[in-house]
Structure 1
Amino acid sequence: MSRELQVTFDCADPDTLMRFWCQALGYVPDPPPPGFETWDAALDAYDVPLEERNTRSACHDPEGTGPRLFFQQVAEAKTAKNRVHLDVRAAPGLHGEERMTAIEAEAERLVAAGATRLARFEPDPPLSHGFIVLADPEGNELCLD
C-alpha cells in the first residue's frame, strides 16, 4: 500500500522558510480554511494571538505530484549537518557544461531568494554529474543536481 508523504521542517521562522521553498520548488502556500479569504481572517476568527501566528506554515505542489511541505516553529536552533536533505533537480537531462551552467543559474536564483552557497562539486565521470550544495535561510542543506 502506498502512503502519502509530507516533509516537515523544524525552524525558527515558518513563514519565511515556507516562502523560500515555494520559490525553490514552484510550490504555493496552502490556502486558508474554507469560508475564509485569507489566513489572517481565519486566525482572527479563531482568536489566535498575533505572537502565535507564525508557529506553523505549509505549502504544496500545485500540480499535486510532489509532497506537501510543513514548517513548524521550534525553540532550538539547528546545530549539526542534516542527516536527510532535499535534492532539487535543477538540470534533469542535461550533461557537461550545459548542466553545470543550468545548476549555477539556479544557485544564483536561490541565493537571491535567501539561500547560502556552501560548495560546488565538479563532474566526476562516469557516475557523478556535478552538483552544488546550498543552505536554505535557516541552514538546512540542499543540493542542486
Structure 2
Amino acid sequence: MGSVIRRPINTAKFLKLVEERSPARRYSSGLEVESSECAVCLSPYEEGEEIRRLKCKHTFHRSCLDTWLQQDAATCPLCRRTVLPEEVAVKHRRRYEEEEEEFYEGSGEGLAFLLHALHGNILSRFSQT
C-alpha cells in the first residue's frame, strides 16, 4: 500500500525546502550558465535578477522555477530530474487540493443555481440549442 500522507505542506515550507536544496542567487554576466535565457518564460537573464540553479545544472529565474515546481511533481522543467522527494511534492499538492476544496464545497446543481442568480437568463440561451 502507498505511503500515508500525514500532514500537508504549505507553500512557505515547500519553497523553504526548495531554497535549502538549490539556493537562489543574483545573476551576473560573469556567472556561468548553460543558457542565456530561462527555459520556463524564455526571457533572457538580466543583471541582478534572482536565479536558481538546480543540481542538474539547469538554471531558471527563481520565480519561474518556484512556480513550476509547485504545479506538478517538483522536477526540473528540462530534464525532469527530481528537485524534491516525491513525498514532499505529494504533501504540497494535498495542501493545494484542500485549499481548492474549501473554495467551493457545493454541488454542481448549487453552482448552476448561483450562476443563474448572478447572470439571469444568459445561461438558458446556451441550453436552448
Compute the TM-score of the two structures, normalised by the length of structure 1. 0.22
Compute the TM-score of the two structures, normalised by the length of structure 2. 0.24
Give the number of the structure whose residues are more often strand, by fraction: 1
Give the number of the structure whose residues are more often helix, by fraction: 2
Which of the two has higher C-alpha Rg? 2
